[in-house]
Chain A
Amino acid sequence: MTVAIIARLTFREAARRRILLAALLLGLLFIIVYALGFYFVNAEIQREGTRPLEQNEIRNFLTMAGLYVVNFLTVMMAVLTSVDTLSGEIASGTIHTLVAKPVRRWEIVLGKWLGFGGMLTLYLALMAGGVLAAVFLISGYSPPNLLRGVSLIWLNGLLLLGVSFSGGATLSTLANGVLVFGLYGVAFVGGWIEHIGSLLQNQTAVDIGILTSLIIPSEALWRRAAFEMQSPLVAAAGFSPFSAPSVPSPMMVIYGTLYAGAALLLAIRQFGRRDL
């Protein structure tokens, strides 16, 4: 009951403060630009008489490029909307009247998480849906394992949402922002080191990448998503910047799921123990 009230409040706050509107308008702009670009490239490859198999390789590459941006925006959305929800309300004192009610603290954290999680889900559904719909309507192409791939992007968003929550339950807003983006940056760089290391067949570089994936598996989740959705030929050639020659194993997906859950539990624990 309380969880639902807080979740609804969180959702309404984002709507009322026009955060959702801004995100969706910019998202729409992105999809329009993307669709235009895709339209012209698609027209070009058809005119040049590229072989159908190669045409689909190019379409797959472009779809991955679009989803790569969607993944990035989803992560940004997860972090930017939630980075001050706990720390900010603690600092301002808004949280005091809530916690002084007959509610348990974990209900507030879980409610907020569900509110932001719901928003994130909606955002991702519209953005990924927009990219995939544009590709399909223009060219009739659709990449394999769509649901699995988009679910991994979704998990990536929830993972960073959890990290942002656990930071916010302990740190100030600014420190939390530095922490979350710092971790994300580590994962990002680590992912590329692994990627290049794998191309050069340098095992040390690959190990560094795996290690950073353990610190925070967000980039690994994206690479697994890209692997699921890439076309078989790209997988064989292994040259696309959006795919992964070194593919995170299904264990990494399980690890990511546990990580996301643990981050939320940590947030609940920290918020439950601290002075307000």
Chain B
Amino acid sequence: MSTNSEPAIRVTGLRKEFGDKVAVANLTLDVERGEVFGFLGPNGAGKTTAVKMLLGLIFPSSGSGSVLGEPLGDHRTRAKIGFLPEHFRFHDWLTAEEFLRLHGSLYHMDGAGLDHRVPEMLELVGLAPYANKRLRAFSKGMLQRVGLAQALLNDPELVILDEPTSGLDPVGRRMVRDIIRTLKEKGTTVFLNSHLLSEVEITCDRVAFIKHGEVLQSSSLQSLVAGELTVEVRARNLRAEVVAGLGRWSENVRADGDRLTMTLIGEQELPEINRYLVAMGVDVYSLKPNQLSLEDLFIKIVGTDGGL
């Protein structure tokens, strides 16, 4: 029996080869229960292959793992998992409602439960007015919404979303973010496979960067971005000795006329720096901290070659 103390996902040394091609080299990963986990990497890094191994769609060449405390590929565990695939294609001759009822029945949900749950899910993803429309007539964004509804039907403990926002407009993206936030509040574990970094930045607790099927770095989003803070100062009267004096807060100070940039460990030193500048008779027009964006980090960790 699984207990809730075990991680939602734990894989060790997972590897998958397709002929000569190594899709996932050596994946070792823990995802705790209740966290929103971002799985990042360039195209072709093996993200989708890794996700498919978690779900038992692809059999690993070597390595092992567990999902919700049960071995990879256990079909009963999938009752507690919701999944939205990247290249979702559904039986497009079904209406949205029929589609959700079909997938609900595959989750072994009974008719009465579905009578209640299907309209609720359609409402959640904003498709209530299209319940009786066939999926064939849906736009890509609408299909993604109905796919998301399908992944949440069974009130899962773990939701695996493979590029959930790629086909969506800004309104749809916000909807996905809100849904992820609601899931997090309920204690649901969310495994988000994405290359849309701004999305990940807003929603995830922890991220792993993968390239060539290996985790390069895995840590909490806060600690990742915390260590690096660039401050941009616009001021007049920036004399050389004032600039030199900033050396006690930062080793990396660059002045260029009225502009000055430096990197700090954290934002707690900002007020003190401001007081110092004013005391030295500098006219400060702006003092702007720029957190290193996830995109900068992504490029720093993964490299600019995009894993090619």
What is the bound-complex CA distance between A17 and B136, given in angstroms? 12
Query: Which of A13, A17, A98, A275 is within 8 Å of B106, CB to CB?
Result: A98
What is the bound-complex CA distance between A100 and B18, given in angstroms? 21
Interface residues of A in 127-174 (CB under 8 A from B): none
What is the bound-complex CA distance between A5 and B108, given in angstroms? 10
A101 and B107 within 8 A (CB): yes
B89 and A101 within 8 A (CB): no
**Cβ distance B159 to chain A, nearest Cβ, rounded Å:** 12
A102 and B83 within 8 A (CB): no
Chain A contacts for B76, CB-based, 8 A: 102
What is the bound-complex CA distance between A102 and B70, given in angstroms? 13
Chief secondary structure at chain A's binding surface: helix
**Cβ distance A193 to chain B, nearest Cβ, rounded Å:** 41
**Cβ distance B281 to chain A, nearest Cβ, rounded Å:** 66
Q: Which of B4-12, B54-62, B170-178, B183-191 contacts A (4 or more CB under 8 A)?
A: B54-62
A199 within 8 A of B: no
What is the bound-complex CA distance between A103 and B102, given in angstroms? 13
A94 and B102 within 8 A (CB): no
Chain A contacts for B58, CB-based, 8 A: 275-276
What is the bound-complex CA distance between A94 and B57, given in angstroms? 12
B193 within 8 A of A: no
What is the bound-complex CA distance between A20 and B147, given in angstroms? 29
- Hey, what's the 0/1 contact readout for A83-112 against B, CB within 8 Å counting as 1? 000000000111011111111100000000
Chain B contacts for A94, CB-based, 8 A: 89-91
Query: Which of A17, A99, A273 is within 8 Å of B93, CB to CB?
Result: A17
Query: Which of B57, B91, B106, B150 is within 8 Å of A2, CB to CB?
Result: B106
With A9-B102, A102-B106, A275-B58 as known contacts, state yes or no: A97 contacts B93, CB within 8 Å: no
A97 and B83 within 8 A (CB): yes
Chain B contacts for A17, CB-based, 8 A: 93
What is the bound-complex CA distance between A79 and B89, given in angstroms? 24
With A97-B103, A99-B57 as known contacts, state yes or no: A104 contacts B88, CB within 8 Å: no
Chain A contacts for B90, CB-based, 8 A: 94, 97
B57 and A100 within 8 A (CB): yes
- Hey, what's the 0/1 contact readout for B92-120 against A, CB within 8 Å counting as 1? 01000000001101111000000000000
B102 and A100 within 8 A (CB): no
**Count, chain A residues at interface, CB 8 A:** 22
**Cβ distance B93 to chain A, nearest Cβ, rounded Å:** 5
Query: Which of B57, B87, B103 is within 8 Å of A275, CB to CB?
Result: B57
Chain B contacts for A9, CB-based, 8 A: 91, 102
Complex: chain B residue closest to A4, CB-CB = B105
A97 and B85 within 8 A (CB): yes
**Cβ distance B68 to chain A, nearest Cβ, rounded Å:** 12
A97 and B107 within 8 A (CB): no
B107 and A13 within 8 A (CB): no
Chain A contacts for B93, CB-based, 8 A: 13, 16-17
A100 and B91 within 8 A (CB): no
With A5-B102, A97-B150, A103-B106 as known contacts, state yes or no: A92 contacts B89, CB within 8 Å: yes
With A99-B57, A275-B58, A275-B59 as known contacts, state yes or no: A13 contacts B91, CB within 8 Å: yes
Listed residue (A2, A9, A94, A275) with the most chain B CB atoms within 10 angstroms of its CB: A275
With A102-B76, A275-B58 as known contacts, state yes or no: A97 contacts B88, CB within 8 Å: yes
Interface residues of B in 44-100 (CB under 8 A from A): 52, 55-59, 75-79, 81, 83, 85, 87-91, 93
With A94-B90, A97-B103, A98-B106 as known contacts, state yes or no: A276 contacts B57, CB within 8 Å: yes
A101 and B103 within 8 A (CB): yes
Chain A contacts for B57, CB-based, 8 A: 96, 99-100, 275-276
Query: Which of B59, B75, B87, B91 is within 8 Å of A102, CB to CB?
Result: B75
What is the bound-complex CA distance between A97 and B83, given in angstroms? 7
Listed residue (A2, A99, A102, A273) with the most chain B CB atoms within 10 angstroms of its CB: A102
With A1-B108, A275-B58, A276-B52 as known contacts, state yes or no: A100 contacts B78, CB within 8 Å: yes
Chain A contacts for B106, CB-based, 8 A: 2, 5, 98, 101-103
B87 and A101 within 8 A (CB): no
A100 and B83 within 8 A (CB): yes
Query: Which of A16, A93, A101 is within 8 Å of B88, CB to CB?
Result: A93
Complex: chain A residue closest to B160, CB-CB = A100
Complex: chain A residue closest to B81, CB-CB = A100
Chain B contacts for A99, CB-based, 8 A: 55-57
The 3 A-B residue pairs with the shortest CB-CB distance, nearest first, are A102-B79, A101-B106, A100-B83
- Name 20 extra pairs, CB < 8 A, besides A16-B93, A97-B90: A5-B105, A9-B91, A13-B91, A93-B87, A96-B52, A96-B83, A97-B85, A99-B55, A99-B57, A100-B55, A100-B78, A101-B78, A102-B77, A102-B79, A275-B18, A275-B57, A275-B58, A275-B59, A276-B57, A276-B58
What are 29 contact pairs spanning A and B, CB under 8 A? A5-B105, A5-B106, A9-B102, A16-B93, A17-B93, A93-B89, A94-B89, A94-B91, A97-B90, A97-B103, A97-B150, A98-B106, A100-B56, A100-B57, A100-B78, A101-B107, A102-B75, A102-B77, A102-B79, A102-B106, A102-B107, A102-B108, A103-B106, A104-B75, A275-B18, A275-B57, A275-B59, A276-B52, A276-B57
